[in-house]
Amino acid sequence: MKTIWAPWRIEYILSEKPDYCIFCNALEQKNDAKTFTLYHGKHSFVIMNTFPYNNGHLMIAPYQHQSCPTKLDQEIALEIHRMTQESIRILRSVLNAEGFNIGMNLGKVAGAGVEDHVHTHIVPRWNGDTNFMPVIGDTKVFPEYLKATYDKLLPEFEAITD
């Protein structure tokens, strides 16, 4: 079995968490470029993770502040699934992603950094995207700034028709 280390995430894990919901706060700011929000649907939105595992790490969250997907109406859940499909398509097209890790962390014991607002993670992957730097150098190498990735992805998300 191979072990994949992500020591750059410890900064986020050990950091003091805000006393507000990062998803609700991003919506309240009404500044998509500042919050790296790529898309607003009827029930949900797509936002970039600012503590990403890889370039293009996206999160899809409902507007409704809920802790579990079982508390979401079917229409909201379907839109989140549809936006997951769209996000995969866009990440393949724009970033040439070769694979994906997709999932939800529900509850603190499951690794949820934000426990009270359910969200789906989409992490694009490429062959060879892990290397010695995180393990030996305690450093994660990102080939591109968040803003540059945002600027690449935004036109594709803006082109989505409901």
CA distance 36 to 38: 6
Which domains, and CATH codes, for the chain? 7-158 (3.30.428.10)
Quick one: pLDDT band at residue 145, thresholds 50, 70, 90?
confident
Which of 72-86, 111-125, 140-154 bottoms out in mean pLDDT, i.e. has the lowest? 140-154
DSSP states of 130-155: --SHHHHSS----SS-HHHHHHHHHH
Record the tokens describing residue 115, joined without a space: 């426990």
The residue ranking higher by pLDDT, 80 or 114, is 80
Quick one: pLDDT band at residue 9, thresholds 50, 70, 90?
low
Tell me: the pLDDT tens digits for 58-69? Answer: 999 999 999 999
Quick one: pLDDT band at residue 51, thresholds 50, 70, 90?
confident
CA-wise closest residue to 58 among 29, 19, 97, 25: 97
Q: Which residues contact 96 (CB under 8 A, 6 or more apart)?
A: 126
Quick one: pLDDT band at residue 131, thresholds 50, 70, 90?
very low
pLDDT over threshold 90, residue 18 = no
Quick one: pLDDT band at residue 110, thresholds 50, 70, 90?
confident
pLDDT over threshold 90, residue 20 = no
Give the three-state DSSP class for 51: coil
pLDDT over threshold 70, residue 143 = no
DSSP states of 84-116: HHHHHHHHHHHH---EEEEE---SGGGT-SSSS
For residues 142 and 129, the answer to whether their CB atoms sit within 8 Å is: no
pLDDT at 73: 95
Residue 111: left if φ>0, alpha if ψ -120 to 50, beta else—which one? left
121 strand-pairing partners: 59, 103
The residue ranking higher by pLDDT, 10 or 89, is 89
pLDDT at 42: 97
